Amino acid sequence: MNTKVAFEDLGIIDYKEAWDYQEKLFSEIVDIKMENRANPEQEKATPNYLLFCEHPHVYTLGKHGSEENLLANMLELQNKKATFYKINRGGDITYHGPGQIVGYPILDLDNFSPDIHQYVYNLEEAIIKTIAEYGLNGQRLKGASGVWLEPDNPVRARKICAIGIRSSRWVTMHGFAFNVHTDLSYFDLINPCGFTDKQATSMQKELDRSVGLADVKARVKHYLGDVFGMQFDAE
């Protein structure tokens, strides 16, 4: 088991460019696992990666999502300087944009815990622990991934972090989108994650003050390392 993780903060990066980079790293890990299966006497350790970034305005639709949850046409998207991609993760439609921490863990879960439900739980737990440091009570909503505030209140339930992943041979990609000081008006053009009766929120909205993105990133990274038992390369 290799619990070392190479961390990269890609800054603001085009969605397709980041997706292509994920696919490259993902394929490299899968290829090593296939080689190990064919030649077990020469087994190589599989690497792990954690990418943080922000994206220019973009909407992404998961492979089982419905385009009906995109409430804008292409002209309206152009006017909002937003792009749209159908992608190969789970989940429905979501928005990425400035002021949001997007995290892409590209992990061989055989190095950690080969359990997808536990993997998603751990992602949620890292965000829950992060926002608790700011006085926010993040929770889970039964039947829906992500981190929510007041999930049991049908009127006030709102999502602060969306999760959508892909996995193959216990290798993961895609990940989470955590709203720090995101422009929430962009969520008006979609039914977020397919919900018509629940809203998105951000740390800035909940705290009624600005929050430093770098500080929040550091805390998210710390708690991801903690809940997964990661050892970051620089440490």
pLDDT in tens, 108-128: 999 999 999 999 999 999 999
Q: What is the pLDDT of residue 67?
A: 81
Q: Express as a percent the part of the chain with pLDDT over 90.
A: 75
Least confident range from 43-57, 164-178, 182-196: namely: 182-196
CA angle, 109 then 25 then 49, to 5°: 55
Task: Please say if the pLDDT value at position 38 is more than 90.
Answer: yes
Count Cβ neighbours within 10 Å for each residue of 29-46 and write b for 16 or more, e otherwise. Answer: bbebbeebeeeeeeeeeb
Task: Please say if the pLDDT value at position 57 is more than 80.
Answer: yes
**Overall average pLDDT of the 188-215 stretch:** 85
Domains in the chain with CATH codes = 4-232 (3.30.930.10)
Please indicate whether residue 43 or residue 223 has the higher confidence score (pLDDT).
223
Active site residue 193: yes
Task: Give the Cα separation of 53 and 100 in Å (integer).
Answer: 8
Which of the residues 29, 193, 200, 224 is marked catalytic?
A: 193
Count the Cβ atoms, other than its own, within 10 Å of residue 14: 13
